[in-house]
Amino acid sequence: MRIVFMGAPEFAVPTLRAIFRDGHAVLAVYTRSPKPGGRRGLEIKKTPVHEAAELLRIPVLTPATLKSEAERDVFRSHAADVVVVVAYGLLLPTQILEAPRGGCLNLHASLLPRWRGAAPIQRAIIAGDVDTGVDLMRMKERLDTGPVGLREVVPIQPEDTAGAVTRRLAEIAAKLTVRGLNAMEHGSLEFREQSSFGVCYAHKIGKDEAEIDWTRGAAEIRNHIHGLSPRPGSFSNLSIGGRLERIKILRAEVTGANGTPGTILDDEMTVACGDGAIRIIEGQRAGRAAMPGPDIVRGEQALLGATFMRAGKSSSPLQVQFQDPS
């Protein structure tokens, strides 16, 4: 089939490669424009999809919008049978959605209609969902409302982070796309409208959501940590050596301990919650690489019994310097 591919992040790369390997003619790849990157913003960073397309020698286009008539003419000139969209990040106007004979197919990382929107994997984990998955849907003008052709359900384990689930679903999405395209080519891909019940939206993760509220239950805090891991990373503040550091917490497990919320209970980095406790498995101090939980405070004095706190809540005049690990 003649295919135009649209995507940007690493999540979309396995699907692009799978389509190419399956022998379809990938006419062009649309992705986001390169942006300044690196520690000082001096490097020009292409999206992972851009880099993958260049390795496959597929033409790459990076329009800022598809709303202009000139860009629509370019798009129509590809004469694609179908468009495959995976986390592209730009809205597709009706004229684009209706241009290819087979329409535009979208790989969405949730079980629609649950978690329509920008952050379905993170929201599913934060909410404590027991499963998620990938839907292959035909796109409509309204966000993530189109009929679903194929679906694969994937369980979410207590130890799963958003990063781990994203990698797993990326590979599943690639296989699902190849199945769907082959079925479409043979006229056997059927679509079913989404249910009108159970609709919810996975709004983009805001920076103001990242700080941990230790008064919540242990399972809820673990889900919050895992849903934001590795990025942006949940955090809490701890006084170390007379200064308040922002500690990113990347992985945790629920334990049966109890104590005052936010208090470090032992040298295994067990921290009391509003109900129960978590053990920090992996975290990151300011200016350091990610490390096992116990190593966060190894060698530091008087941290057993210390309490994670919000910035500005310290009772000591020495705890005024603030460091961010990112």
pLDDT at 252 > cutoff 80 = yes
Q: Report, as an integer, the average pLDDT of 26-37.
A: 93
What is the model's pLDDT at position 242? 76
Percent above pLDDT 90 for the chain: 82
Dump pLDDT digits (tens) for 274-316. Answer: 999 999 999 998 889 999 999 987 767 667 788 998 765 544 3
Cα–Cα distance, 307 to 218 (Å, whole number): 16
Dump pLDDT digits (tens) for 59-80. Answer: 999 999 999 999 999 999 999 9
Side-chain half-sphere CA neighbours of 237 within 13 A: 17
Q: Are β-strands 2-7 and 82-86 bridged in parallel, bridged antiparallel, or unpaired?
A: parallel
pLDDT at 322 > cutoff 70 = no
